[in-house]
Each structure stands twice: as C-alpha cells, then as structure tokens.
Amino acid sequence: MKISDIIVYKVKPRWIFVKLTTDNGLEGWGEMISGTKTETVVSGAYEIGKTLIGRDPNEIERLWQEMHRSFFRGGPINGTIISGLEMALWDIKGKALGVPVYELLGGAARDKIRVYSWIGGDRPSDVAEQAKQRLDLGFTAIKMNATSELHYIDSYKKVQAVVDRVASIRDTVGDELEIAIDFHGRVHRPMAKVLAKALEPYHPMFLEEVVLPENWDSFDDIAREVAIPLATGERLYTRWEFKELFSQGSVDVVQPDVALCGGILEARKIAAMAEAYDMAVAPHAPYGPVALAATLQLDACTPNVFIQEQSLGIHYNQGFDLLDFVKNKEIFQYKDSYVQLPTQPGLGIDMDEAKIKDVAQQGLVWTNPKWKNYDGTIAEW
C-alpha cells in the first residue's frame, strides 16, 4: 500500500480538511488550523504532503520524523500541517487493520469520555442563560472566556465585570456546573494575578492561559497566589515545547491540540510525560469534526485525560457547525456530558465529501479578530 494523492479543502467557518488516498483506494482524513494563516497552511500542506506520495502510510513514526526534522522546525505552520497529515495516516492505518486508532495505541483506558460545552463570556457576554441551557442539555461542565481586551494595568471595573458574569452563573445554577475560565492569553501578568485572585471564591474547574505561553515563568507567580488549577498548552507544539512546563511544575492541566502539537501520537507522548509529573490533560479542540474525532482517539487510550473540549454550538461557528460535514453524526452524540468511545475503524468519522467540495468553492477568509485597547495599542485576542 502506497500513498497516491493528497487534496486539501478550505471550508467555512474556519476549517482546513486534508485527504490522503492510497493506491488500493483507502482514504484518510486530517484537519489543520486555519487561524495560523489559511493560504500559507494550504500551500505548505501540499508542499509537505507531496513528499508522502509513493510512501507506505503504515510507517507513521518514520514519516513524522521526516516531516518534523527539517533544519528549521516547529512553529504553528509546520505544526498544524504535520498534525493534519499525521491524523490522515492514522485514519488509513486504522481502516486498513479494521480497528479504531486507539486500539493501536494501547487500547481503551476508560469506558466513556467526559466533555464540556462552550458558552461566551466576552462577546457574547450573557453567560447565565447559556449556562442554564447547557445544564438542561445534560452537561456538567462549561467553559467561558473571562474577558475581552485588558491593558497591562487596567481598571478594576473590568475585573469586577468578569466576577459578576461568573457570579451570575453560580446564582443561576449553583454548583451544578463546573466552570472553566479561559483568560485566552489576553491578560498580562499584573492583571492576571488580580483577576485570578478575584475569581477564587467561585471555585473554577481551572483557569486557562492566564498569561501567554511565552511568559511561562509567570505561571509560578500566579500559582502561588491562588488555589485554582492552572491550564495551558493549546499554542505549544511537540513535546519539546512542553518540557519547560513539566520542569517548572506550576501548571496543573496541559492542553495539547492534536491539530497543532504534532498529531495524535505526539499528543499521546505529551500526555504520557504529563502523567509522569502527576498532571492532568484536557485536550484543546474547538475546531472541526476531524480534529475532534482524532482527539477522541487520544482520549480513549489516555488515563490522565479528565475532560474534553468540543465545539458544537460554539459562538465562533458561524454558518456551519460541527456536524454539518459528517455523515455518521452519532459519533458526537453527548449524553449526560459524556460521549461514547469510537467504535469504527480509523478515526471513526465518515466525511460528506460532496458537501465539503461544494462549500469549499465559496472560499475561506478567516483571521483572528483584531482588538485594540482604549489608547489604541494592540490588545491580545
């Protein structure tokens, strides 16, 4: 069996799908992140993907090493390209052997996978009603953005607004929902300490990206201020970028993104390193259906995963949602905040390629929103 073709699709709202085909007709799907510059990712996917033509898709580790170990390596562009192609390779291998991918990575470590649901928190900010809706749907945990733009030092009025939003959830649903709060790297260290301390009485499940990942040394300062688990990792790629977090010991939850960090096996290696440091894993996955299907394979065989992000109904999905390009929609059926382990071969997802082709003709232009502070300086999104 040899890889014979590659095709990349750009689809709304912000997803890039890649399909590898073999000479015996098997197809493997992967997903890449468009927020890292869509056209650059697509061009790079063809450039790197064409090196796989004629190769044996079963040799995933060998092919991963070849794709990763260029002279200039790492970074979000290379990271998401390699991740998407690696997912597709696993999809092919699982289909060839007739088993889900997690069966090739040690087998199931759990019976089911807990998931949480996104609500707003920034724009939209009316979170109490959204939280009640998620509780009524059976979810036991939610995640929300903490705040919109914040300057290096900003008014306590903005901090109080965050506290009021979280308090409104507690007033509406009590302790029936666990609340993860995402700072999204928007908060600089001086305000991060203030905001984290102010949120402590509301017992968040974790605080995510309290500072940008390049300011990893600040996690130590904030961890000494609050007794809330700290989480980060969605913007880090490969196990080498996670090393600092492990050795520092201030972060409690790592969040590798299977569509960025290097793929399924690389995320599994990162999770194994985290397990050795007694750290939890909550994989980042707010994107499309292939990325989530791949992440569920990771979850199934990884004992220190405790909860999974998923994007159904997320406020970023404008025009199309998680299930719109999937034929076997039941694989993402949530009951009482859990999803069942995948059972179909490969990634377990049956993509609607006809619809993908149709929507891809509409084009895709998606970039991160551009925010500014009150004085015109650039703010983090």
d(CA 113, CA 311): 15
Q: How many residues does the structure list for the chain?
A: 381
Residues near 27 by beta carbon (within 8 Å), at least 6 away in sequence: 19, 20, 21, 91, 92, 95
Residue type for position 143: K
Chain CA centroid to CA 266, Å: 14
Sheet harboring 3-11: ordered strands across?
Answer: 3-11, 15-22, 27-33
What ranges make up the beta strands (E) of the chain? 3-11, 15-22, 27-33, 112-114, 117-118, 141-145, 178-182, 206-208, 230-232, 253-254, 280-281, 338-340, 371-372, 378-379
Single out the residue of 350, 351, 298 nearest to residue 104, CA to CA: 298
d(CA 223, CA 44): 39
Report the catalytic residues. 184, 284
CB 303 within 8 A of CB 275: yes
- Checking 242-251 for CB contacts under 8 A at 24+ apart, the result is 242/270, 242/273, 242/274, 244/216, 245/216, 245/219, 246/273, 246/274, 246/276, 246/277, 246/279, 248/216, 248/217, 248/219, 248/220, 249/277, 250/219, 250/220, 250/222, 250/223, 251/219, 251/223, 251/279
d(CA 147, CA 187): 8
